Structure 1
C-alpha cells in the first residue's frame, strides 16, 4: 500500500542523506533490477544495490554486511518474499522491508503488511519507488526513536525505583537510629531526673519546694510519654515481637485513640517475615489507619494479614465515605503514591478499591521468596 509523502518530508530526507543507501534487492529479473536502480537514481536517491536471487544468497548477504533497506519481489524462483521475511524478521534491529511486485493483489499485500513488512508497490508504479523507500526509512527511523525513548524511560524508571528504595531504606535506618538515641540518651536521662525529683518531693517539707517538685514531676511524666510516642512512630519496638504483634498493636492503639472499632484477622499467630517486608507492611497499615482517621468518617475498620500461597498480603478495609477519582489524583495527594512506591521497593504492589459511600479497601501484596519461611 503506497502512502503519500509530502514534498517537504521528501526534501528534508534528501537533504539529510549524506551516505549512499545500502539496499538489498531480491530480484531474479535483470531487467527489473535495472528498472529499480534507474527509478531510484531519477528520484535523487544515491543508492548501492546488492542484487541477489536465492534464499542462500540473501542469508549470506545479511551476515556479511548491514543494509538500510530490503527491496524484494514477491514470486521468485523456488521461494517467495515471505520466506525472505522470515529470515529478516529473526534478526535484531532489522532494516525496513519493501515489497515490489507485479503479481500480487492489494488484499494479499495488505495481509502481508500485517506481518510487519513496511510497504509494498506494484511494478507498474515503479516511478514512485523513491517516495516509498523514503517513507519506509522515515517510518523505520521513527520506530527506532520511539524504541530508544521507551528504553530510556524504562532505564529512568529503574533508576528512580532504585533511588526510592535507597531513600526508604535510609529513612527507616535513620528512624531506627534516632529512636535508639531517644531511648538510650534522652529516655535514660529523663528517668534519672525523675528519680531525683521524686526524692526531692518525698524529702522536702510541705510548702512551695514540694509543690514545685510535684509540678516538675508531672511535666517530666509528660515528656517521658512524648518520648515514648515519638519512639513508637519512629521505629516501634513491638516490631521486634513479630509482624502480627506489631499490626495487632497498631489496631488496638488506633481503636483506643480514635474510638473507631478495629479488628485484625490473621492466617496464623506468628509469621517469620524478613525485616524489610515487616517495615513495609507496618508502614502501610499505619498510613492506612491514619488516612481513615483523617478522611474516611468510618465507624469500623477491618485488617486482614495473610501469608498464604507464597504471598504476604495486608488488606485494610473501612466502611467510610469512600474515595472518588479526584481524591486519588490530587496533585498534592502523596499518601497512596508513597505506599505504592514503598511496595515497589520489595517487588510488591498496592491495589485500591473504593466506592462513594461504601468505604475503601487498600490491599498490599508482596511475593515471598522461595526461601521465606511461612
Structure 2
C-alpha cells in the first residue's frame, strides 16, 4: 500500500483582529488547495507583528485592511525598515479602487477580497514565486559584484605578476647571459691581439666554453618560459619528469599518477598545470620538511585538467600566511593562485600545522 504524498507546508502570518476570520481563511485555503498545508499565525498589532517576524520564517503575510490598532501601511513600513522581503497580500471585505492602487504602490504584492478567497492560493503561489525570483536575482547580483571585485583585484595582481616575470627574465639576461656574452667578446678580442698562436688558441677555447655555457643558459631560460618537453612529450611525461627532477635532487620520495586521456593538442592550461606542479614541489622542498610527496594528474571532460600535489610535511596556518598581501613568505603560493585564476581555473589549498599540505588546481 503506497503512502500518501507529504503535503507542502506554507507558513502564513495573518494580521487580523478577528480570530474567526483567520479560521475562515484557513478553511477557504484548505478547500481551494487541498494539496498544501497552511500553518497560520495571527497577530493584531505592531509589537506582536515584529516579534513574530523575529521568531519564525513566513512564506507570506496576509493583512486585513481595516484594523483598529494596525494597518497594511504600518506593516509595510516595518518590513522596509527591517529589510524583510516576505510578500504582503491585503485581505479585506471591501476596498475602493483608489485605496487598492495606493496600498499596492506602497509595497503590497496583491489584494484579495474576502468574498473571493478561492483565488487566494493562486495569489499566494504567485507572490511566493516572484519573491523567489527576486531572491535569486539578488544572489546573482551579489555573485556578479563579487566576481567583479575579484576581477579588479586579479587584474591588479596580473600587472604585478607580469612585472615580476619581466624583472626575473631581465635579471637572468643581464646577470647570466649578458656577462657570459661579454666575456666571449673579451676573449675573442684578446685572441685577435695575442702575440702567439698558443695564447690565441687559449682565448678561443675559453670563448668556445663560454658560448656553450650561453647556449645552456638560453635553453634554461627558454624552458622556464615554456618547457620543450611539453610540446615534444606531452603533459604527463613533462610533469613526471619535472616532478622527479625536483624531488630526486632533494631526496624526497615521489609518487606520480595520471588518469584520463591526454588530448592530442595541449592548450595554454597545460603549461599552467605544469607550472603549478613545479611551484608546489619547490615549496615542498624549501619549506615542508616532508619525506614523501604525491603528484596526481587528471584529464577531465571539456578539456579540463586537475592537478593535486600532497605532501606529509609540517604544514602551515593557512589564514595567517595568506591573510595579507603578497610578500617574500607567500609569493610562491600567490604565484600559483594567480597563474590558475588567470587561466580561468581555481586553486584550493588544504593544510593544518603538522598535517601536511594538499594543493589542488582545476583548469
What TM-score results when the alignment is normalised by the length of structure 2?
0.54
Distance 2:93 2:229 in 1: 75
1:240 aligns with 2:279: no
Question: Cα gap change, 1:66/1:279 in structure 2, threshold over 3 Å: closer, same or farther?
Answer: farther
Q: 2:257 aligns with which of 244, 265, 273?
A: 265
Question: Cα gap change, 1:78/1:148 in structure 2, threshold over 3 Å: closer, same or farther?
Answer: same
Distance 2:250 2:336 in 1: 22
1:336 aligns with 2:354: no
Provide the aligned length of Structure 1 versus Structure 2.
273
1:360 aligns with 2:351: no
Kindly state the Cα deviation for residue 247 of structure 1 after the two structures are TM-superposed: 0.9
- Match in the other structure for 1:296: 288
Check the 8 A contact 2:318/2:351 in 1, yes or no.
no
Question: Cα gap change, 1:259/1:224 in structure 2, threshold over 3 Å: closer, same or farther?
Answer: farther
Alignment of 1:315-334 (within 5 A): 315-331=308-324, 332=327, 333-334=330-331
**1:307 alignment partner, SS class:** strand
Check the 8 A contact 2:247/2:285 in 1, yes or no.
no
1:70 aligns with 2:61: no
1:87 aligns with 2:126: yes
Check the 8 A contact 1:164/1:341 in 2, yes or no.
no
**1:77 alignment partner, SS class:** helix
- Match in the other structure for 1:349: 346
Question: Cα gap change, 1:362/1:35 in structure 2, threshold over 3 Å: closer, same or farther?
Answer: closer
Kindly state the Cα deviation for residue 281 of structure 1 after the two structures are TM-superposed: 0.6
1:231 aligns with 2:228: no
Distance 1:313 1:94 in 2: 35
Question: Cα gap change, 1:166/1:273 in structure 2, threshold over 3 Å: closer, same or farther?
Answer: farther
Check the 8 A contact 1:298/1:319 in 2, yes or no.
yes
**1:90 alignment partner, SS class:** helix
Which runs of 5 or more residues in structure 1 are unaligned?
A: 5-24, 44-50, 96-115, 117-143, 367-374
Which has the bigger relative contact order, CA under 8 A and spacing at least 6? 1
Question: Cα gap change, 1:339/1:164 in structure 2, threshold over 3 Å: closer, same or farther?
Answer: farther
Distance 1:274 1:164 in 2: 28
Kindly state the Cα deviation for residue 27 of structure 1 after the two structures are TM-superposed: 5.7
Q: 1:150 aligns with which of 142, 157, 168?
A: 142
Shifted more, 66-75 versus 352-361: the winner is 66-75
Distance 1:355 1:36 in 2: 56
Kindly state the Cα deviation for residue 224 of structure 1 after the two structures are TM-superposed: 2.9
1:276 aligns with 2:268: yes
Distance 2:249 2:220 in 1: 12
Check the 8 A contact 1:254/1:262 in 2, yes or no.
no
- Match in the other structure for 1:218: 209
Cα root mean square deviation, aligned: 5.5
Which runs of 5 or more residues in structure 2 are unaligned?
A: 1-42, 49-61, 78-89
What TM-score results when the alignment is normalised by the length of structure 1?
0.52
- Match in the other structure for 2:27: none
Kindly state the Cα deviation for residue 210 of structure 1 after the two structures are TM-superposed: 3.2
Deviations 1:304-362 (A, max 9, x none): 11225665321112232222235543523343344334334445332323343342221
